[in-house]
Amino acid sequence: MKKEYSEQELNRRKKLNNLKELGRNPYFSTFVEEISIKELEYKYMNLTKEELNNNPTKEYSIAGRVMMIRNQGKAMFIAIKSNGKSFQFYVRQDSIPEKDWQVSQLLDIGDIISSKGNIMKTNTGELTLRSLKFNILTKALKPLPEKFHGLTDIEEIYRRRYVDLIMNDGSRTIFINRTKIISSIRSFLDLKGFYEVETPILQSTLGGAAAKPFKTHHNALDMEFKLRVATELPLKKLIVGGIDKVYEIGRLFRNEGISIKHNPEFTSIEIYEAYGDMKSMMKITEEVISNASMVVNGTTEITYQKKPISLAVPFNSIEMIDLIKEITSVDFNTVTSLEKAKTLAKEHNIKLKSHYNSIGYIINEFFEEKCEQTIIQPTFITGYPVEVSPLSKKREGFEHLTDRFELFIDGREYANAYSELNDADDQYSRFKEQVREASQGNDEASEMDIDFIEALEYGLPPTGGLGIGIDRLVMLLTDSRSIRDVILFPHQKNRN
């Protein structure tokens, strides 16, 4: 199929050929940057125009993408952008070689150029490179969007993120801050003596979270694998092996819906500490999040989607059953029969799945349906039912509850943690229950993992475990509405 070009694209291709006729390579292999724009500003910004004119600077080579051209006949001002910083070239016909001037006349917005010269200031005080040499390093064959609007189609923003990053400084800032957030978490944990590790993405047994997996086949081994839905089980095996403090930052994959809160692949950190528990994980959660906020925002008092949020330590904490009572007036401390719980669910318009065969499931549904969205400030929800916590230690003296919390902020879950179950026989029984639920239609149930049971039989010390969703944390700390705003290349449907 023959590709069709717009009039602008045809004009750019004509200029491409003209460059070649001038003997210039329109696609350079290399360029040596002698100084960054940031360094130039630091060095010369405080000097006056006269000081720069009376004491010419050394010659510098600078490169960047053309964002604006002001042609004044025999001179031109060119605005470039490099590494997020804007700068300006002043090119005069009588100041550069003739062939360089001819090259400059073939310039388009979006081209990547280089120039060598000394530093001056304009009458308006703008720091500028007075060009002595000029080159087009890369000829852009497609025009950029109109400067002041950029990409306006939200789908195209996600699909053509590279254009969005060129045009939108706000997007660039989000992803720079994403890097800073992850780096702050690494630094915090490294200083606490944790070791970062890597565990398999392809797993033969599904476990570590209630989620529907992606499935694939390995030809050489002739085995079915799942893309991991969590890193939990391999990390706990490392605790068994004597690496007492471990964490992993990595991609997880869940074959579920897409929303402003969900993407099929996302980034999580899981942290495990021998001789820790749910309470020690609370402390780590608070410190990680408040520290990351200080790094990117300089404060723990932020605004998310026009709502003031305080990330100052300590965070709030409340039992799940107590919050349900507070919001709905239903007191599950007095509900002793499954039939009574089902009747209450029906009265409050809560739909139950077929495998919900105990009160614990219904308590959890009450919380998710009626309470989650009411939580604005950071709040640890504790006292999760054992039915929805197959890897968590039971609360001593309360066989139906676990030592588990989830952190909610503005109606969304940000962290999940618990005192890890280290009783191999109890874990085996819970896996059996998960297998039974899978047979009844629960496509998010864990599978029986005999290798993990055997690891527990060698002895898992008392352990605290924690998972934090990195993408949601970045959303919170950069005031981003959708998870797709903080993932460089979120998944999109194919173009029609």
| Residue 99 shares a structural domain with residue 174 | no
| Residue 63 shares a structural domain with residue 172 | no
Report pLDDT digits (tens) over 281-308.
Answer: 999 999 999 999 999 999 999 999 999 9
Per-residue pLDDT for 13 more than 60?
yes
pTM reported for the whole predicted model: 0.92
Report pLDDT digits (tens) over 415-461.
Answer: 999 999 999 999 999 889 888 888 887 777 778 899 999 999 999 99
Residue 438: per-residue pLDDT:
82
Instruction: Say how many CA atoms lie within 13 Å of 175 toward its Cβ.
Output: 16
Residue 150: per-residue pLDDT:
57
| Residue 90 shares a structural domain with residue 190 | no
Angle at 458 (CA atoms; ends 452, 463), nearest 5 degrees: 75
**266 assigned to some structural domain:** yes
- Check which CATH number belongs to the domain holding 399 and give it: 3.30.930.10
Residue percentage of the chain with pLDDT more than 90: 83
| Residue 174 shares a structural domain with residue 307 | yes
Residue 206: per-residue pLDDT:
82
Least confident segment among 16-25, 474-483, 487-496: 487-496
CA distances from 33 to 39, 95, 305 (A): 12, 21, 40
Orientation angle between helical segments 320-328 and 359-366, nearest 10 degrees:
60
CA 224 to chain centre: 29
Q: Which among 126, 276, 268 has a CA at the least distance from the CA of 208?
A: 268
Taking residues 360-381, report their average pLDDT.
97
Residue 437: per-residue pLDDT:
83
| Residue 212 shares a structural domain with residue 278 | yes
Residue 16: per-residue pLDDT:
97
C-alpha 89/C-alpha 128 separation (Å) is: 6
pLDDT band for position 147 (cuts 50, 70, 90): low
**153 assigned to some structural domain:** no
Residue 355: per-residue pLDDT:
80
Q: Which among 259, 6, 159, 260 has a CA at the least distance from the CA of 495?
A: 159
| Residue 138 shares a structural domain with residue 187 | no
| Residue 59 shares a structural domain with residue 128 | yes
**255 assigned to some structural domain:** yes
Residue percentage of the chain with pLDDT more than 70: 99
| Residue 134 shares a structural domain with residue 171 | no
**49 assigned to some structural domain:** yes
Residue 306, classed as helix, strand or coil, is coil
> What average pLDDT is seen over the chain?
94
Least confident segment among 37-46, 129-138, 318-327, 432-441: 432-441
Residue 308 is encoded by which pair of tokens?
Answer: 């003031």
> Is the model more confident about 161 or about 440?
161
Per-residue pLDDT for 153 more than 60?
yes
Residue 244: per-residue pLDDT:
98
pLDDT band for position 149 (cuts 50, 70, 90): low
Listed residues 85, 111, 144: the one ending a domain: 144
Q: Show the DSSP H helices in 114-231 as ranges.
A: 154-159, 161-167, 169-191
Per-residue pLDDT for 79 more than 60?
yes
Per-residue pLDDT for 188 more than 90?
yes
| Residue 41 shares a structural domain with residue 119 | yes
Output the DSSP codes for 119-138. EEE-TT--EEEEEEEEEEEE
Q: What range defines the domain where residue 38 resides?
A: 7-144
Per-residue pLDDT for 148 more than 60?
no
Exposed/middle/buried for residue 49 (C-beta within 10 Å: 0-12, 13-18, 19+): middle
Residue 70: per-residue pLDDT:
95
Q: Which among 350, 359, 433 has a CA at the least distance from the CA of 398?
A: 359
Least confident segment among 213-217, 253-257, 351-355: 351-355
**Is the omega angle on the peptide bond into residue 314 within 30 degrees of 0, that is, cis?**
yes
C-alpha 62/C-alpha 117 separation (Å) is: 9
Per-residue pLDDT for 38 more than 80?
yes
Neighbours of 441 (CB within 10 A): 10
Residue 236 is encoded by which pair of tokens?
Answer: 């706990």
- Check which CATH number belongs to the domain holding 135 and give it: 2.40.50.140
**33 assigned to some structural domain:** yes
| Residue 221 shares a structural domain with residue 122 | no
**214 assigned to some structural domain:** yes
| Residue 32 shares a structural domain with residue 113 | yes
Report pLDDT digits (tens) over 391-407.
Answer: 899 999 998 999 999 99
Taking residues 474-494, report their average pLDDT.
94
C-alpha 491/C-alpha 496 separation (Å) is: 15
Residues 6 or more apart from 277 whose CB is under 8 A from it? 403, 419, 462, 463, 464
Taking residues 327-346, report their average pLDDT.
94
C-alpha 305/C-alpha 237 separation (Å) is: 40
Taking residues 19-42, report their average pLDDT.
94
Report pLDDT digits (tens) over 98-122.
Answer: 999 999 999 999 999 999 999 999 9
| Residue 17 shares a structural domain with residue 119 | yes
Neighbours of 77 (CB within 10 A): 16
The dihedral through the CA atoms of 175, 180, 184, 186 has a sign that is positive
Least confident segment among 201-215, 285-299, 372-386: 201-215
How many domains is the chain built from?
A: 2
Q: Write the single-letter amino acid at 360.
A: G
Angle at 191 (CA atoms; ends 188, 195), nearest 5 degrees: 90
For the chain, counts of helices (H) and of strands (E): 15, 20
Q: Is residue 445 a contact partner of residue 402, using CB atoms and an 8 Å limit?
A: no
Taking residues 37-54, report their average pLDDT.
94
Exposed/middle/buried for residue 253 (C-beta within 10 Å: 0-12, 13-18, 19+): middle
